[in-house]
Amino acid sequence: MHLQQGELQHNGKAIFDLVSCEAVGVVTDVGPGLTGMKVGDVVAYAGNPMGSYTQERILPASVAVPVPPSIDPLVAVSIMLKG
């Protein structure tokens, strides 16, 4: 609870901003010239940038992996951590 409320600090920065490195979400906007993804697509990522405990995240398209409709988002996020 304290972590999610940003109450834990390290070197003046909320630990909330530093933790977790995997997520699944819905694309809400795309940059100019991006092809292969559109608003409404479900995507996953793992690794950098850190800090997936957020409501929204700006990601480079190079780390966003499309999640097919046949894959449950909870399964997709766990697959991203398998190596």
pLDDT of res. 81:
77
pLDDT at residue 15 above 70? no
Answer whether residue 37 is part of any domain. Answer: yes
What is the secondary structure of the chain as a DSSP string?
Answer: -TTTTT--EETTEEGGGT---EEEEE-----TT--S--TT-EEEEESSSP---SS-----GGG-EE--TTS-HHHHHHHTT--
Answer whether residue 5 is part of any domain. Answer: no
Q: What is the mean pLDDT of residues 60-72?
A: 92
Answer whether residue 74 is part of any domain. Answer: yes
pLDDT of res. 47:
79
% of the chain exceeding 90 in pLDDT: 30
Answer whether residue 1 is part of any domain. Answer: no
pLDDT at residue 2 above 50? no
Instruction: Provide the domain limits for residue 73.
Output: 21-79
Answer whether residue 14 is part of any domain. Answer: no
Answer whether residue 30 is part of any domain. Answer: yes
